[in-house]
Amino acid sequence: MGKVRNTQSKIRRRSEVACFVEEAKAMGKDVVFTNGCFDILHIGHIRYLQAARALGDVLIVGVNTDDSVRRLKGPDRPFISEFERAEIVAALECVDCVTLFGEDTPVELILAIKPDIHSKGGDYKPEDLREADAMRSIGGRVEVITYTVTDTQGKSTTNLIERISGS
């Protein structure tokens, strides 16, 4: 039987993530960053995170804090606490490091950790992202991951909640 990896060790404070990124870059690794609420993890999230990881050598995920999720998604969200969401995301093999952030956008986090690539899902356009300017300012780039309609159709947390609640 293989050794079980402690996923909590992948969850780090912002300052620790910045050091992690510096070390990875010093070893010549490309660092990919992405972010999200990850309130109810589903197959769309898994496929997206795996594709984001494939863009580089290291994947760092910023998870919105509970307060941030409430501002973005409404007072009834999140369903799962920020620490549980962070640990769930950290448990994924494709994820190397997770950090929480309380801002509505990851701009401050990007400027602090300086990844090479910022990955977003196909429902975004790079020119519409506030993060794009931050990435350019640190010499990085934004990559949008797209899927075919059949890959992601109906695969969203909002759709899952609507199906469960019968609305």
pLDDT at 166: 64
pLDDT at 149: 42
Q: 74: phi > 0 → left, psi -120 to 50 → alpha, else beta; which?
A: left
Answer with the residue of higher pLDDT: 1 or 63: 63
33 in a structural domain:
yes
Domain count within the chain: 1
pTM of the model: 0.87
Contact assessment for residue 97 and residue 58, using Cβ atoms and an 8 Å cutoff: yes
118 in a structural domain:
yes
Digit-coded pLDDT (tens) for 8-54 = 899 999 999 999 999 999 999 999 999 999 999 999 999 999 999 99
Digit-coded pLDDT (tens) for 125-161 = 777 888 999 999 999 999 999 864 444 445 555 555 5
CATH number, domain with residue 129: 3.40.50.620
Range of the domain at 131: 9-165
pLDDT at 148: 46
2 in a structural domain:
no
pLDDT at 83: 97
pLDDT at 142: 95
| 45-53, long-range: CB < 8 A, 24+ apart | 46/92, 47/147, 47/151, 47/152, 48/121, 48/145, 49/89, 49/92, 49/94, 49/95, 50/94, 51/119, 51/145, 52/94, 52/119, 52/145, 53/94, 53/95
Digit-coded pLDDT (tens) for 89-134 = 999 999 999 999 999 999 999 999 999 999 998 877 777 888 999 9
22 in a structural domain:
yes
3 in a structural domain:
no
Digit-coded pLDDT (tens) for 58-92 = 999 999 999 999 999 999 999 999 999 999 999 99
1 in a structural domain:
no
